[in-house]
């Protein structure tokens, strides 16, 4: 894939030839990577869940709950395989534009992924049963309970009450079913992606004939990954991984440390500065959290820092890059508004709020460090040392220059830039001979796993938000809002509140795709500047990336440091407090966002 | 009954307004027996994605352009062939012709969907950040086009270098110089603010991209005979209006682009371009299904 995206750039410039096949190849390669790696992550048990309840139960009851979750996942695997098989039959006539490959063939990856999931869960069921804690009778009982629940739902769907709810109050009913189902699975500790998928399935069942539910669900999961923009994700994870493994990003961190060393808890400050520096390179909070956090974490552990706080600082400051340009999120917003807010104006507007978001983390990190009695680094350092650190960081900094310069200069797009970043870091790693062939393989596998977890989650949340739209849930929310007040600031604050709640459950891009079209006309008719509103949306949803249960940046930060999500909640609270103050400032003072673009006459 | 319509366009555009008009009039005339909920802006997916939902009968109605339809029915390439329609009048004649419509409907039912009708866009031309005044200026120009083999083939034969980008990426790609220009509707140049950066338009008028409105078979079957007649009548009305609107809009936005953004429009002698794409017709004639459609269209247009 790296090869293909580099080829796209090279072929465009060196040979002046069209690189159309790469676009289509990459588009489907990403989906295959996401679903296959997602399936593989079930084999090695890497999918994220919220183990609140399981930790509180006795060993035997926990084993029973694990049985239930394995069975639930197994059934999902069966459903997903069936969906893949049905799509294979249905969509053979539909061909892709360039390669003319049948879409059904491409969708057959669902069949493979589903079968892998089924096999993986059969193995874990076997392990649970032979492990001595769960008995075969438990398995039968679990299956019986699930079957009974399903029968009850089936019976309920034939009653008049059900019919009345669906025809007269579909929006509210769907809302209850969707969030109700999701919360139940979440509390039971099922993999979050599976919980999302089932919530979507149940909601879909309210409106769609039984025989159509599985292929529809399967297709929306498949489509959840069908966005060229997501490509930057595995690429920046890979680039970050290469940079950290080969010690390249370490030099960037040294620079950040130089800047942050005078402040108590200097490593945390350096992490924030590093994330902001990285933010000028990528528009992905996930990439930032993995690249910078991946290097800070081992150092922090060695120096005896409080690890949950370290992970929290990393998670909370990683989304800065979504406001500091270049930013995919701002590009998406500009696309949704149909150019009502220009990309370049949004980019200029993003600088100050992005830095504010980082500074909010720095302030709270400083307070937490003082409370824990951490000291600033002792002594100054010589001018020679400063120069040496800068010199050593230069190759890494040059990457920023190459990628940013390349994007701004029009040599390549932001997404192609992610491929270039991989290529550049590969070349550097080869030059320094700091990586063995074995290490390379480990990096690739690790990237696939980390991307697999996230991509599979994105796919399932894509399906859930499709179902939400299909059940008119966003409209219901929009109507409630405008019925509430006509005051500009009140409506903005309400929207912020709604987006904060939405952000708790939903990832940034689906949330933006769904809610921008609802809110945008409302606020612009009240006289809010489109650029200002874009910054508010991205800032608010950035916070959602760090809140459990669905927070992709949080997941990455946790999986990198190995901390539990539940342990991060406490250190995250003060950080959120300061970030919320920043958010309110941005809402009340449009100049914070708009001064810079105005200065440039945008 | 409430039916779902999916589109990937904005509600306040011409097609969006026509669809609301259609939905309101049908609701009124069927006394609320048939009502529609329109999902604009691609919230239910892109065209080929919600098209699959329509084939399954999960979504009832959807908007799909002729380029996307190529992916489902290869014979549809024919409608995207450059210089198939030489004037708006010729276009109207073909689209409203019963023989042509029958051929379409027959092809559709094999693929588990039905046609409701069409909505016309304006003629597509070529615009660029560089001065382009004639055929020679097109040589080696990197132009954005839509993801369709026919369009790619056409640009190659014009001598340009086609690049497939999504419409959303186009503005920044033009601004950053990733592409030198694009082929597309003239009204869109001003409407999507491309006129900020592209100041030169060559009026090649090569194709007319058509938005087809398709429905599920389930939708057709669920309508009573009376209601189906009303739906078809109302759709025929907005189809006819769409051509007039497209012409008016093209004129309006063209003038705005000239007056407000200083965009230059150049007429071009189309003969060399028509000649350049002749092999595409020869190739299409070798495919029996495409030949059948082409001959039907040529007969309506009274050309050989
Ligand atoms: Na950024
Ligand atoms: Na969240």
**Contacts B39 to A, Cβ<8 Å:** 469
Distances (CA, A) of A52 to A61, A268, A514, B116, B171: 14, 28, 30, 53, 47
User: Which sequence spans correspond to the domains of chain A?
Assistant: 29-226, 230-435+471-599
DSSP string, A47-64: ----THHHHHS-HHHHHH
- Mean pLDDT over A424-448 rounds to 81
Residue B111 forms contact with A (CB below 8 Å): yes
Write down the pLDDT at residue A118: 94
CB contact under 8 A, B37 and A472: yes
CB contact under 8 A, B163 and A18: yes
Residue A73 contacts by C-beta under 8 Å, 6 or more apart in sequence?
A42, A117, A121, A190, A191, A194
Write down the pLDDT at residue A414: 59
- Mean pLDDT over B257-278 rounds to 92
B196 φ/ψ angles, rounded to the nearest 5 degrees: -60, -40
CB contact under 8 A, A344 and B152: no
Residue B149 forms contact with A (CB below 8 Å): yes
Give the pLDDT band of residue B170 (cuts 50, 70, 90).
confident
User: Taking phi first (over 0 means left), then psi (-120 to 50 degrees means alpha), and beta for anything else, what does residue B205 get?
Assistant: left
Pick the residue with more confidence: A566 or A342?
A566
B108 φ/ψ angles, rounded to the nearest 5 degrees: -65, -45
Report d(CA B53, CA B62) in Å as an integer.
Answer: 9
The helix (H) or strand (E) run that includes residue A555 is: helix A552-561
CB contact under 8 A, B166 and A228: yes
CB contact under 8 A, A20 and B171: no
Write down the pLDDT at residue A82: 94
Least confident of A310-324, A325-339, B141-155, B178-192: A325-339
Write down the pLDDT at residue A397: 73
Residue B300 forms contact with A (CB below 8 Å): no
Least confident of A241-255, A291-305, B117-131: A241-255
Please report, rounded to a whole number, the percentage of residues in chain B having pLDDT higher than 90.
52
- Mean pLDDT over B259-280 rounds to 92
Q: Which of B155, B132, B176, B117 is nearest to B265 (CA)?
A: B132
DSSP string, A71-130: HHHHHHHHHHHHHHHHHHHHTSS-B-TTT--BHHHHHTHHHHHHHHHHHHHHHHHHHHHH
User: Taking phi first (over 0 means left), then psi (-120 to 50 degrees means alpha), and beta for anything else, what does residue B300 get?
Assistant: alpha
**Nearest chain A Cα distance for residue B283, angstroms:** 17
CB contact under 8 A, B56 and A339: no
The alpha carbon of A281 and the centre of ligand 1 are apart by a number of angstroms equal to 6
CB contact under 8 A, B163 and A20: yes
- Mean pLDDT over A520-549 rounds to 89
Give the other-Cβ count within 10 Å of A131's Cβ: 11
**Reduced to 3 DSSP states, what percent helix, strand and coil does chain A have, rounded to the nearest 5?**
80, 0, 20
Q: Which of A305, A204, A253 is nearest to A563 (CA)?
A: A305
Write down the pLDDT at residue A16: 38
Express each pLDDT in A220-237 by its tens digit.
999 888 766 567 667 767
- Mean pLDDT over A469-486 rounds to 77
Q: Which of A179, A196, A60, A230 is nearest to A128 (CA)?
A: A60
Distances (CA, A) of B55 to B62, B114, B257: 10, 9, 40
Give the pLDDT band of residue A484 (cuts 50, 70, 90).
confident
Express each pLDDT in A15-39 by its tens digit.
334 455 666 777 888 888 888 888 9
Most confident of A59-63, A500-504, B83-87, B189-193: B83-87
Residue B71 forms contact with A (CB below 8 Å): yes
Write down the pLDDT at residue A21: 64
Give the pLDDT band of residue A14 (cuts 50, 70, 90).
very low
- Mean pLDDT over A413-436 rounds to 77
Which two three-digit tokens encode residue A411? 């040599």
- Mean pLDDT over A447-457 rounds to 81
Report d(CA B207, CA B270) in Å as an integer.
Answer: 12
Residues 183-242 of B with CB under 8 A from A: 192-193
- Mean pLDDT over B2-27 rounds to 90
> DSSP label at B166?
-
Write down the pLDDT at residue A17: 42
Query: Residue B150 pLDDT more than 50?
Result: yes
The alpha carbon of A463 and the centre of ligand 1 are apart by a number of angstroms equal to 27
- Mean pLDDT over A526-541 rounds to 93
The alpha carbon of A72 and the centre of ligand 1 are apart by a number of angstroms equal to 39
Query: Residue B263 pLDDT more than 80?
Result: yes
The alpha carbon of A553 and the centre of ligand 2 are apart by a number of angstroms equal to 9
Question: Coil, helix or strand for B126?
Answer: strand
Question: Coil, helix or strand for A252?
Answer: helix
Mean pLDDT of chain B: 89
Nearest chain A residue (CA) to B52: A91
């Amino acid at each position: 894939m790296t090869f293909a995206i580099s080829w796209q750039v090279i072929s465009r410039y060196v040979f002046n030839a069209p690189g159309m096949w790469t676009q289509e190849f990459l588009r489907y390669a990403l989906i295959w990577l996401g679903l296959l790696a997602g399936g593989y992550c079930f084999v090695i048990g890497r999918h994220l869940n919220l183990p609140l309840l399981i930790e509180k139960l006795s060993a035997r009851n926990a084993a029973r709950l694990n049985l239930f979750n394995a069975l639930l996942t197994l059934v999902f695997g069966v459903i997903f395989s069936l969906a893949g098989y049905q799509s294979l039959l249905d969509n053979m006539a539909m061909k892709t534009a360039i390669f003319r490959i049948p879409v059904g063939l491409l969708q057959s990856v669902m069949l493979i992924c589903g079968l892998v999931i089924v096999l993986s869960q059969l193995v874990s069921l076997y392990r649970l049963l032979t492990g001595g804690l769960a008995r075969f009778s438990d398995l039968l009982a679990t299956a019986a309970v699930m079957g009974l629940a399903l029968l009850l739902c089936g019976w309920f769907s034939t009653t008049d009450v059900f019919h009345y709810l669906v025809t007269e109050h579909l929006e509210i009913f769907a809302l209850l079913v969707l969030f109700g189902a999701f919360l139940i699975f979440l509390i039971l500790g099922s993999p979050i992606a599976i919980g999302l998928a089932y919530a979507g399935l149940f909601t879909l069942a309210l409106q769609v004939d039984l025989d159509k539910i599985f292929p529809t669900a399967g297709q929306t999961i498949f489509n959840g990954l069908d966005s060229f923009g997501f490509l930057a994700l595995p690429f920046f994870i890979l680039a970050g991984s290469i940079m950290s493994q080969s010690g390249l990003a370490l030099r960037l961190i040294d620079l950040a440390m130089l800047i942050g060393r005078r402040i108590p808890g200097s490593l945390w400050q350096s992490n924030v500065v590093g994330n902001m520096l990285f933010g000028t390179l990528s528009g992905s909070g996930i990439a930032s959290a993995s690249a910078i956090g991946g290097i800070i974490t081992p150092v922090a552990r060695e120096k005896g820092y409080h690890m949950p706080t370290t992970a929290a600082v990393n998670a909370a400051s990683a989304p800065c890059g979504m406001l500091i340009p270049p930013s995919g999120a701002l590009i998406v917003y500009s696309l949704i508004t149909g150019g009502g807010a220009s990309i370049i104006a949004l980019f200029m507007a993003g600088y100050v709020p992005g830095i504010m978001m980082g500074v909010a983390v720095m302030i709270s990190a400083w307070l937490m460090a003082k409370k824990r009695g951490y000291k600033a680094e002792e002594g100054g350092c010589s001018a020679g040392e400063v120069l040496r650190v800068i010199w050593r960081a230069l190759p890494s900094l040059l990457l920023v220059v190459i990628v940013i310069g390349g994007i701004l200069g029009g040599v390549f797009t932001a997404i192609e830039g992610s491929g270039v970043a991989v290529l550049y870091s590969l070349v550097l790693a080869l030059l320094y001979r700091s990586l063995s062939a074995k290490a390379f393989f480990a990096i690739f596998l690790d990237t696939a796993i980390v991307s697999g977890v996230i991509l599979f989650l994105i796919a399932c949340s894509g399906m859930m938000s499709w179902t939400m739209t299909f059940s008119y849930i966003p409209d219901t929310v929009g109507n409630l809002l405008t019925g509430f007040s006509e005051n500009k600031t009140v409506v903005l604050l309400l929207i912020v509140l709604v987006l904060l709640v939405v952000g708790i459950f939903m990832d940034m891009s689906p949330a933006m795709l769904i809610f921008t079209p609802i809110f945008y006309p409302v606020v612009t008719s009240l006289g809010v500047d489109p650029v200002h509103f874009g910054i508010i949306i991205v800032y608010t949803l950035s916070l959602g990336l760090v809140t459990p249960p669905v927070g992709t940046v949080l997941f990455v930060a946790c999986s990198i440091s190995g901390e539990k999500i539940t342990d991060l909640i406490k250190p995250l609270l003060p950080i959120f407090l300061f970030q919320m103050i920043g958010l309110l400032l941005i809402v009340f003072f449009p100049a914070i966002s708009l001064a810079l673009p105005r200065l440039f006459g945008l | 009954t409430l039916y779902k319509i999916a589109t990937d366009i904005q509600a306040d555009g011409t097609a969006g307004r026509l669809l609301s008009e259609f939905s309101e009039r049908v609701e009124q005339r069927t006394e609320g027996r048939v009502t529609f909920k329109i999902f604009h802006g691609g919230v239910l997916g892109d065209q080929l994605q919600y098209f699959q939902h329509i084939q399954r009968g999960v979504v009832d109605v959807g908007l799909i352009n002729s380029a996307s339809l190529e992916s489902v029915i290869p014979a549809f390439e024919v409608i995207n062939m450059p210089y198939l329609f030489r004037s708006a009048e010729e276009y109207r004649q073909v689209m409203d012709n019963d023989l042509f419509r029958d051929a379409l409907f027959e092809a559709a039912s094999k693929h588990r969907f039905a046609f409701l009708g069409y909505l016309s866009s304006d003629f597509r031309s070529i615009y660029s950040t560089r001065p382009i005044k004639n055929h020679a200026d097109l040589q080696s120009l990197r132009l954005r086009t839509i993801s369709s083999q026919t369009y790619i083939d056409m640009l190659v034969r014009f001598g340009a270098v086609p690049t497939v980008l999504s419409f959303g990426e186009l503005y920044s790609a033009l601004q950053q110089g990733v592409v030198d220009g694009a082929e597309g509707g003239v009204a869109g140049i001003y409407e999507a603010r491309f006129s900020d950066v592209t100041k030169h338009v060559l009026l090649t008028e090569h194709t007319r991209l058509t938005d087809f409105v398709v429905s599920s078979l389930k939708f057709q079957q669920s309508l009573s005979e009376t209601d189906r007649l009303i739906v078809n009548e109302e759709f025929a009305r907005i189809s006819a209006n769409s051509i007039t609107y497209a012409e008016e809009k093209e004129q309006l936005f063209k003038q705005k682009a000239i007056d407000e953004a200083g965009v230059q429009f150049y007429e071009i002698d189309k003969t060399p371009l028509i000649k350049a794409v002749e092999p595409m017709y020869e190739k299409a004639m070798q495919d029996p299904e495409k030949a059948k459609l082409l001959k039907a269209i040529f007969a309506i247009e009274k050309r050989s």
